[in-house]
Amino acid sequence: MDGKIAIEEHFVTPALLDTIFPNIGWDQDEWQLMTELLQDTDERRLQAMDAGGIQTSVLSLTAPCIQDIVGASDAVGAARHANDALAEIVRRSPDRYAGFAALPLQDPSAAAAELERAVGDLGFRGAMANGYSSVGDLSTAAYYDEPQYQEFWERVAALDVPFYLHPRNPLPTERRIYQGREELLGPTWAFTMETATHALRLMTSGLFDRVPTLQIILGHMGELLPFALDRTQQRLEHIPSVNLQRSTVEYLRENFYITTSGNFHTPSLLGTIDQVGPERILFAVDYPYEQISDAVDWFDGLKLGQPELEQIGRGNAQRLLGL
């Protein structure tokens, strides 16, 4: 299928290289190649997009970057730098790229202001945050269901753009279960558990009752939530202190979009379609951490009807992002 829109595709600037780190098991050569690919938006990336029938990639700053900068003022400056750099990339190739803003969520007011600048002045289509934000030191996390983020979420909804909740590893002080099994950190397993739990915090906090139009994007086929929420909801109904206007299953169906990034598994896609409908699913690769050829070979070979392929491959992204 030609004309696909891929919406979780990463980049980094030279100035922010020291805010990212290799995955478990990568050697120096692999990491060197990855840093080159993250910085390239003019040659190899476009060639791979052309070969895979991807018309547009929505670029976002790779992880953890801004979220790992413990000083709020430093995070504000780094986010502004990243967004200005991304705006220039999009300006050079407006028919091939769109942007998600990086946000200094260490300071919710500054994050709201930067999102408004990125959407209003730079033409970005939403925002991505790489998990919780480190505040003050690397053992302290701010999660976005906490009260200080209420006005930020209201600003996101008022701007009518989505917020992509991307993974990061759990706090260094909360990794006992991974000790001796560090291969389970990162995208192998820990990313999913951290991000799914963060999304559940948003749901059970009542955020979507207070801001009912808010739209969140989750990658990697929904971080397992499409397959777990019926059980979660069944147990929440037995807890008197939980007082929500809708069920977690309804929040997933009405306030979340799910992408295929890095999870090219047909039974999982079919289960996700059954849970949320094809109108809530978006095509994504997770480039350069995943290969474009792997994603498109899988997607283009799916035995879905043409209307569903069109929705997932580009139509939903066009509608959600105004592309």
pLDDT at position 23: 79
Q: Can you give the CATH number for the domain in which 154 is found?
A: 3.20.20.140
pLDDT at position 24: 79
* Model confidence pLDDT, tens digit, residues 217-245: 999 999 999 999 999 999 999 999 999 99
> Edge-to-edge strands of the sheet including 97-99?
4-11, 54-61, 97-99
DSSP code, position 179: T
DSSP code, position 102: E
Both ends of the chain: CA-CA distance in Å? 18
pLDDT at position 22: 82
Instruction: Verify whether residue 145 is a known catalytic residue.
Output: no
- Residue 66 CA to residue 131 CA, distance in Å, equals 10
DSSP code, position 318: H
Q: Which of 50, 274, 286, 297 is catalytic?
A: 286
Helices vs. strands in the chain: H and E counts, helices first: 13, 11
Query: Which residue do the tokens 């139509």 mark?
Result: 315
- The CB-side HSE value for 138 (13 A sphere, CA atoms) comes to 11
- Residues of the chain short of pLDDT 50, as ranges, are none
Total domains in the chain come to 1
- Mean pLDDT, the chain, whole residue set: 97
Q: How many residues does the chain have?
A: 323
**Is the CB of residue 118 less than 8 Å from the CB of residue 66?**
no
DSSP code, position 132: S
pLDDT at position 212: 98
What is the dihedral angle through the alpha carbons of 158, 164, 169, 173, rounded to the nearest 10 degrees? Answer: 10
pLDDT at position 25: 81
- Residue 148 CA to residue 166 CA, distance in Å, equals 20
Q: Quote the domain boundaries for residue 227.
A: 4-321
- Residue 214 CA to residue 130 CA, distance in Å, equals 18
**Is the CB of residue 172 less than 8 Å from the CB of residue 165?**
no
Q: Kindly give, in sequence order, each residue whose CB lies less than 8 Å from that of residue 108, ignoring residues fewer than 6 positions away.
A: 148, 149, 151, 152
pLDDT at position 26: 85
